């Protein structure tokens, strides 16, 4: 199946854009190789991106480089340049070969005028973004590092897990610095928590990948 047609059925917001009538000049498809970086000011115009396929990490590049979140298939990113022109401190780095589509602000606003469904889905998406940020702040303020690492592993298992005979293999490679920043901690503390989970036979580390042996016990570690 064609990637874009598969994504069409997978992502309601993307589907609503296409169903509302678009011109080929309204968007641009880009293929990023693993390790390639996309700076949100590259196009010198306002808009946003859909992740059509692949995996990338969003970073705040100034004043201190910092991983903000992982961006997977179906995510809408770079919308800051759509709402607020200054987004030059953000970049997207492909962790796998990744396909993205850039949609112009003019195109999206035209579609919003045509379709109440586009408006509704955009509002729902941005509301989810705000909710996620609120949950992230609450997590950093009120949870232990162990809780946050468990939450991160569960999210990775849900989105990238592949069932094996031993358990659920998180089938992506993330370096320790990236994982630590996503969990709101430092690499040394992350390593200590992962070692503890391994001793409890909750996970098993295989190079840069993690095998979840006991998903129920991992869920308990989130409380």
Provide the token pair at 194: 């992962």
Give the mean model confidence (pLDDT) for residues 39-58.
78
When comparing pLDDT for 48 and 215, which is higher?
215
Please answer whether residues 54 and 29 qualify as being in contact, where contact means their C-beta atoms are separated by less than 8 angstroms: no
* Together in a domain, 128 and 166: no
* Together in a domain, 10 and 92: yes
When comparing pLDDT for 81 and 214, which is higher?
214
Residue 30: half-sphere exposure toward Cβ, Cα within 13 Å: 22
As a whole number of angstroms, the distance between CA 172 and CA 177 comes to 15
Find where tokens 């950093």 sit: 140
Considering 140, 160, 177, which residue would you say is the last residue of a domain? 140
Domain span holding position 212: 144-220
Q: Could you tell me the pTM of the whole model?
A: 0.81
pLDDT of residue 192: 97
Instruction: Kindly report the backbone phi and psi dihedral angles of residue 35, in degrees, each rounded to the nearest multiple of 5, phi listed first.
Output: 90, -15
Q: Express each pLDDT in 104-163 by its tens digit.
A: 888 888 888 888 888 888 888 888 878 887 887 787 778 999 999 999 999 999 989 999
Considering 125, 140, 155, which residue would you say is the last residue of a domain? 140
* Together in a domain, 161 and 135: no
Q: Identify the CATH number of the domain in which residue 79 sits.
A: 2.60.120.10
* Together in a domain, 36 and 49: yes
Provide the token pair at 129: 């973004």
Considering 90, 106, 140, which residue would you say is the last residue of a domain? 140
* Together in a domain, 103 and 210: no
Q: Express each pLDDT in 3-26 by its tens digit.
A: 444 444 557 788 887 777 767 777
Q: Is the pLDDT of residue 68 over 90?
A: no
* Together in a domain, 47 and 120: yes
């Amino acid at each position: 199946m064609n990637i874009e047609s598969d994504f069409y059925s997978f992502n309601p917001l993307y589907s609503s854009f296409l169903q509302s009538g678009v011109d080929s000049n309204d968007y641009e498809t880009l293929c990023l190789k693993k390790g390639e970086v996309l700076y949100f000011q590259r196009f010198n115009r306002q808009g946003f991106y859909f992740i059509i396929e692949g995996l990338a990490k969003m970073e705040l590049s100034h004043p201190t480089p910092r991983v903000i979140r992982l961006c997977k298939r179906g995510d809408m990113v770079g919308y800051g340049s759509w709402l607020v022109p200054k987004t030059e401190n953000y970049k997207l780095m492909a962790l796998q070969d990744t396909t993205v589509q850039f949609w112009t602000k003019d195109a999206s606003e035209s579609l919003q005028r045509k379709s109440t469904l586009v408006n509704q889905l955009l509002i729902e998406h941005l509301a989810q973004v705000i909710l996620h940020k609120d949950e992230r702040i609450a997590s950093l303020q009120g949870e232990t590092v162990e809780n946050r690492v468990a939450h991160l592993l569960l999210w990775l298992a849900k989105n990238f897990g592949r069932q094996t005979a031993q358990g659920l293999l998180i089938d992506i490679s993330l370096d320790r610095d990236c994982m630590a920043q996503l969990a709101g901690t430092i690499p040394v503390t992350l390593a200590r928590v992962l070692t503890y989970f391994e001793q409890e036979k909750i996970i098993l580390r295989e190079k840069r990948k993690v095998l979840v042996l006991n998903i129920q016990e991992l869920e308990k570690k989130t409380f």
